[in-house]
Amino acid sequence: MPDPLVTLQHVTKTFEHEGRPLEVLKGIDLEIERGEMVTIVGPSGAGKSTLLHLIGTLDLPTSGRILYEGKDVTRLGSSDLAEFRNRSIGFVFQFHHLLPEFTALENVMMPGLIQGSRRLEARARRLLDEVGLTDRLTHRPGELSGGEQQRVALARALLMEPKLVLADEPTGNLDSQTSASVQALFFDLNRRHGITFLIVTHSRDFAAMMPRQVSMKDGRIDSDERRAQPLENQGKPT
């Protein structure tokens, strides 16, 4: 049986706050399979975003191990870790972090340009078409709506064909109709491409749609629930 895509083994994270240790994650054990749609929920301060950052290798755990397909990435050097992150993980945040002086197409191409590759323009165009922005290629972020900016961010996250996409409150700044459209897009991309999504959200409606819901409380996993059957409307455009 192949290894899970991501495995966390007794992961802890402690920060120093006013000269004292602040334990944010208190021994997280978690496995994420290829192609899963997983949401992380819980109250503010539960450690959700910290956990997402560790899984995304944006930070390292204080103790414990994080494995991708059985390989312990916490042992990689900084340059190898940065290359692994750029090629293997896509990120979508609440704030889009698009570069205002660049077009939608250029923003989507940015991860490839960081790698020194300019041969990804055709893929960037296909991705923008796939997220419904065929007519917005030359528009800059200031000329796009919030939902359109988030779609650009999602296309950018997919450019390097990552196995995992991490999203932190991806619909937090969007109105309900636009949120529903972006949420449907996540399910559609998962169904068509088998992309694994791990999404932190405060939206109860969004969390209720997900096939798997991990609930956190006080730096620990409080519950981990899987649906027996996916909802009928998952992945359908709204």
Q: Which two tokens stand for residue 12?
A: 């802890």
72-112 pLDDT, tens digit per residue, is: 998 888 889 988 988 899 998 877 788 999 999 999 998 87
Q: Which residue has the tokens 């937090």?
A: 172
- What does the pLDDT read at residue 178? 78
Residue 92 CA: distances (Å) to CA of 4, 39, 158? 22, 14, 10
Nearest partner of 237 among 169, 175, 166, 188, judged by Cα: 188
124-164 pLDDT, tens digit per residue, is: 998 999 888 999 999 999 999 888 988 899 899 999 889 89
Q: Which two tokens stand for residue 86?
A: 């750029």
Domains within the chain, CATH numbers bracketed? 6-224 (3.40.50.300)
165-187 pLDDT, tens digit per residue, is: 999 888 777 777 878 888 888 89
* Percent share of the chain, pLDDT over 70: 92
pTM here is 0.86
Compute the distance between CA of residue 118 and CA of residue 203 in angstroms, rounded to an integer: 38
